[in-house]
Structure formats: C-alpha cells, structure tokens
Chains A and B, each alone.
Chain A
Amino acid sequence: MEINDFLRKVEDAIDNVEQNTLTAELKFQTDLEAWDSLAALTLLAMIDSEYNVVISGEEITSCETLNDLFETVKNKSNS
C-alpha cells in the first residue's frame, strides 16, 4: 500500500475533488470543502472495494489527516 495511490483513490471517490489536489497532511474533516456525510460513505465504499477493509464511521471521524486514515486502513488490512 502506498500513500500516493491512496490519495488518488480518495480523489476519485469523493465528488468535486480534482485529481492530484489532496495531500497526506490534509485535515479532511475540517479543511476539505467537499467533505460531508455522503463523502464519508463514498470513502467507506472505496476503502472496502479497493483494500477489502471495512472501516467504521467512528474510525473515520477519529482520523485527523488523510495520512491517519491511510495508516488505519493499512493496519486493518495487515491484521
């Protein structure tokens, strides 16, 4: 798993986000304009279909940055 690949997939998943605009440090829940409850759902679906990992809503909200989210997914997929 690679963070840049993960970021491109997040960009693909969420509506109104351009390719190559997201960074690992982005505090997505506060600083991403396109972030809403629907974005959370599409992110969940993407992570499930791309990484075969089901994460909970709580796990998303407990992440500050996209890198935190990436690490959560990585840890779950290894366990």
Chain B
Amino acid sequence: MKATIKQIAVYLPEKILTNEDIEVRFPEWSIKKVSEKTGINIRHHSADNEYASDMGAKSALKLFDDYSIDPQSIDFLLFCTQSPDYFLPTSSCIIQDKLGLKTSCGAFDFNLGCSGFIYGLSVAKGLIETGQAKNVLLITSETYTKHIHSEDKGNLSIFGDASTSTIISQTENESLYGFVFGTDGRGFEKLIVRNGGMKNQKNSDNSDQNNYLFMNGAEIFSFTLTRVPELVNKTLEKSKLNMEDIDLFIFHQANKYMLESLRKKIGIPEERFYYFMSEVGNTVSSTIPIAIENAIKENKLVPGMKTMLVGFGVGYSWGACIFEY
C-alpha cells in the first residue's frame, strides 16, 4: 500500500494588508519597487482573536465540506505550526476536539516553518505505508504576522497568515517518494523570535526587537543559494529522475526574487516552475500546499504529472520530495 495526497483545502483570514495600505503607513518607502521584487501584493492577517488552532480547524472544516469527507475517517492528525496556542497542551489535541475527530485518532504537533509541509508528508507516508494509519490529516497553520513589529515594513511586506489542510491516504501506486532532508542549526539566529519561550521571556517593551520576528534576509538568501540547488539534485538522484522528467517544480514561495534567482541557477525552464504568492505572500509552511491547490485549479497540475516539492527556511531546515499527481 502506498500513500498519496488526496485533497487540499486552504483557509485565508479575512483581514488583508494591501500595497496601498503599506504605502499609506510608510509613505517614505517605495512599496511599489519592493513588490516588483517580492511579487507580493496582498497578505492576509489573522484576526486579533484568531489563533493557529482556529485557522487550522477552519481549513480542515473547509476540506471536509468541499470534498464531503467524513471526519470520522481521519485516524491521524499532524499539525505543523510555530505559533501554537499554548506551550501545552498540544494544539492538535484542541483541533481534534474542534473537528470532532474520533478519540482513537493519533495527533501531534511539530514545529517547523517553510520546510514543514515536506516533513509532514514524509511522516504521513510512513504512517500509511507501515499500516499504522489509513487517512492522515496534515494541517499547516501559521500566524507570523502576530510576531511582526508594527513598524517592521520589510517583514510586513513579505509574510501573510494562512492555514491548509491536506488528506494523505492509501493508493495503489507510488506517489510520494525521493524524500531528501537537511538541517543546519548554525543558521538558527537568522530567522528568529528571540523572546517568548522559556529561555527569554517576552516583555512589554515594544522597542525591544527581541520580542518580534527578526529575519536576516541576506543570510537566508545566501543559505538558499547554497542549499537549494544541491537539494534539487539530490532529490532527482534519489528518485532516479532527470530534470526533464519533472513536469512542475513547486518551491516554498518565499518571494519572487529569491525563487527567480534559484530557478535560473538550477536551470529550470520558466514554464515548469510554479509561482503563487501575489495574493497571499509568504505563508511559511502553507505556501507549498497553497501552490499545489492553485496549480490544480489552474490546470497547470493535472493527473499523471510529476512534481518536485521543495521546502527550505527557518532553522535552517530543508526538505524535498517527488509527488506524482
């Protein structure tokens, strides 16, 4: 028995931040010039009283609704977030209750950012192909915008909140394979919220940058230029495929400039490289499932195609795999 992605649903919070909004707030800054580079025009922001588990439950309910899925058929829940509701309990336990999943369902959270969807797929595949679960619900949900300082125009221009729900179920033929992973904790301080965990408590000083999201864009960019090309090559090698065998490359949608630099460096033709960030921004672990869902809607991803899914970022952490749709 093999595992495959069955369906994906996306939840985007109602509140949006447009380029025009940013222009009004930061008139001295040329958001037009910036958005030409980032490829991002709209970002969604979670409501003040809306948290990762709320958004996760919303994307899951949408999935159940859109595809008439019986919540009782889910026997494992994986929840990927770096913005959990509480230190404890585990957010996925809260979501199990919100969704009315059966109590025989396994559930746990894992803390990863832009590489999270790939890791979730890998765990789901393991659970299914070893007969431990039949239908795994993988939820990604992130509220990075709550971590961003109100004056941090750079990060405000890039990140958006979102949640996705993906069902991974049994199938006949190999569909998810060639997984390659990587970790380099030397980069841990390059994208970080320093305060708020056990080590450094959050304080009420809003001029203390350590209370907020910090990203060293140049270092992250340098990391991706080094790691992502070799990640793509290793994934091809592991799956015994050539560049030409891949019908569509779906990368973590960090920003357009970075993706375009990577695409050119790796030598992927534009028509086989998928972009989807203009209306959502960088939604961390949700960018890849959002892109898959939209590629299917736009008929750019059709059954029989081979895609390479590539995630990379905060940690540093990275991972990639082949998904045959």
On A, residues with C-beta under 8 Å from B are 15, 37-38, 40-42, 44-45, 48-49, 54-58, 60
Interface of B toward A, CB cutoff 8 Å:
33-34, 37, 154, 216-219, 221-222, 225-226, 257-258, 261, 264-265
Q: How far is the CB of A24 from chain B (nearest CB, A)?
A: 22
Question: Mind listing 16 A-B residue pairs with CB under 8 Å?
Answer: A15-B33, A37-B217, A38-B34, A41-B217, A41-B258, A42-B257, A45-B257, A48-B225, A49-B261, A56-B218, A56-B219, A56-B222, A57-B216, A57-B221, A58-B219, A60-B218
Interface hub of B37, B221, B222, B258 (most chain A Cβ within 10 A): B222
- Smallest CB separation, B152 vs chain A (Å): 12
What 4 A-B pairs come out closest when comparing CB atoms?
A: A57-B218, A57-B219, A40-B218, A45-B261
Most buried by A among B154, B217, B218: B218
Q: With a CB–CB cut-off of 8 A, which chain B residues contact A45?
A: 221, 225, 257, 261
A73 to B261, CA, bound (A): 18
| List of A residues within 8 angstroms of B217 by Cβ | 37, 40-41, 57
With a 10 A CB-CB cut-off, give which of A15, A44, A60 has the most chain B CB atoms: A44
CB distance from A50 to the nearest CB of B (A): 12
- The answer to whether B37 touches A38 (Cβ under 8 A) is yes
Residues of B within 8 A of A37 (CB): 154, 217-218
Which single residue of chain A is at the shortest CB-CB distance from B38? A38
Q: Is the CB of B264 within 8 A of A49?
A: yes
Further pairs besides A44-B221, A56-B218, A58-B219: 17, Cβ < 8 Å? A15-B33, A37-B217, A38-B34, A40-B217, A44-B225, A45-B221, A45-B225, A45-B257, A45-B261, A48-B261, A48-B265, A54-B225, A56-B222, A57-B216, A57-B218, A57-B219, A57-B222
Q: A38-B34, A49-B264 are in contact. Are A54 and B216 (CB under 8 A)?
A: no
Q: In the assembly, what is the distance between CA of A57 and CA of B261, in Å?
A: 16
Cβ distance A62 to chain B, nearest Cβ, rounded Å = 12
A15–B219 Cα distance when bound, in Å, is 20
Most buried by B among A40, A42, A49, A56: A56
**Is A41 a contact of B219 with CB atoms below 8 Å?**
no
State whether A49 and B265 are in contact (beta carbons under 8 Å apart), knowing that A15-B33, A37-B154, A54-B225 are contacts in the complex.
Answer: yes
Name which residue of chain B comes closest to A58, CB basis: B219
Docked Cα-Cα span, A10 to B168, in Å, equals 47
Question: Among the listed A15, A38, A54, which residue makes an inter-chain contact with B222, where contact means beta carbons less than 8 Å apart?
Answer: A54
Please, how many angstroms separate the alpha-carbon atoms of A57 and B224 in the complex?
Answer: 12
When chains A and B are docked, how far (Å) is the Cα of A6 from the Cα of B226? 22
**CB pair B257 A41 closer than 8 Å:** yes
Q: Which residue of B lies closest to A37 (CB)?
A: B217
Question: Which B residues touch A40, using CB under 8 A?
Answer: 217-218
Q: Are B226 and A41 in contact (CB under 8 A)?
A: no
**B-chain residues with CB within 8 Å of residue A58 when the two chains form the complex:** 219
CA separation between A37 and B222, bound complex, in Å? 13
Q: B33, A44: Cβ atoms under 8 Å?
A: no
Which residues on A sit within 8 Å (CB–CB) of B154?
37
